[in-house]
Chains A and B, each alone.
Chain A
Amino acid sequence: MTWFLYLATGVLLGVSAAASPEKTKKALKKALNTFVNILPPLTATLLLVSISVALLPEKVIASLIGEESGFFGQILASLIGSLTLLPGFVAFPMAKVLLEHGAGVAQMAVFVSTLMMVGVATAPLEASFFGWKVTLLRNGMAYFWSFGIGYAVWLAVRIWI
């Protein structure tokens, strides 16, 4: 699927440059900024995940967050996802590595979903904008829905792969 991403980016970049070189330059500058900002945490996380995955026997990963870990694994994945702050940049490669080394599909989907939608660390910030009532409700609903997403993704992967 990599070629698709490159193709899409190439086409969009071309269209954008044709429409407005100015804006395109701004976008590229932003991209460079993002890349520079993301590189340190990306390297750190991937290094640590890679070495842990390489060291931990697959059996250990599988027993914690594998298919067989069931609901316990999903709860564990949801807690890690809610408490940590990782950009998608880092989370997806990490999920890929874990999936290739014994992690379960449902558990990874729950992890990714809570990571994106539930933010314990950012809750005070969210509350400063919308108040605690809104913040708790939004995060709470997103937390529970993440298990539904886990089930849906698990089902889809079972059917189509």
Chain B
Amino acid sequence: MKVLLKKWRIAIAALLITGVLGAVFPEAGREALKLLGVNISTIIGILLGLFDVWVPRERIAPHLGEASGIRGIVLAVLLGASSAGPLYVAFPVAEVMLRKGTSLRNIFIFLGSWSSMRLPMVLFEIQSVGPVFALSRFAASLAGILLMGVLLERLLGLEVRQEILERFEK
């Protein structure tokens, strides 16, 4: 009960604020309720769950090494795009992949793709803000992610990779 209350306290506070404001400005209150009803969509969770269960991340990691070339890049993008959860969940996953042989470039591509190109999320984005907005953002993100992956690898190189790995041996 206490945990439940803690989880919901911000929502309850928001409800109170909205309730008070809605009572003072009934017009705005009605409008707010209308906006709220339209925008709660739940189905996206099912998509995320399915992707999470079916994508064998650990088994793919060794195929993303230094010599993996274009194929490795494509795989890294797909792997990130088929993931679930916010970016900070991706850091431990990326660490495991790094240890299993994924190159630094592909790690950054994976992280970038995870953060802004997740397919279930893009479907949801299309539903919310429309296909032109969603797909152009998707394309521009992809270009940036590839560019950043290559640039970051150039800038950081192998020592940083070694450093990161050593940090986890401790």
A interface residue numbers (CB < 8 A to B) = 1-2, 4-6, 8-9, 12-13, 16, 23-24, 26-32, 34-35, 38-51, 53-55, 85, 87-89, 92-93, 95-97, 99, 105, 108-109, 112-113, 116-117, 119, 122, 125-126, 129-131, 133-134, 137-138, 141-142, 145, 148-149, 152-153, 155-157, 160-161
Contacts and interface: CB of A to CB of B under 8 A. Distances in A.
A131 B40 contact: no
Interface string B107-146: 0100110011010010111111111110111011100100
Contact of B41 (A32, A34, A93, A148): A93
Q: DSSP majority for the A interface?
A: helix
A161 B129 CA distance: 12
A37 to B, nearest CB: 8
**Counting chain B CB atoms within 10 Å of each CB, which of A55, A122, A157 scores highest?**
A55
Contacts of A113: 116, 137, 141
Question: What band does the interface of chain B fall in when counting residues whose beta carbon is under 8 Å from A?
Answer: 35 or more
Interface of B: 7-8, 10-11, 13-15, 17-18, 21-22, 25, 27-29, 31-33, 35-36, 39-50, 52-54, 84, 86-88, 91-92, 94-95, 108, 111-112, 115-116, 118, 121, 123-133, 135-137, 139-141, 144, 147-148, 151-152, 155-156, 160, 163-164, 167
Q: DSSP majority for the B interface?
A: helix
Contacts of B118: 88
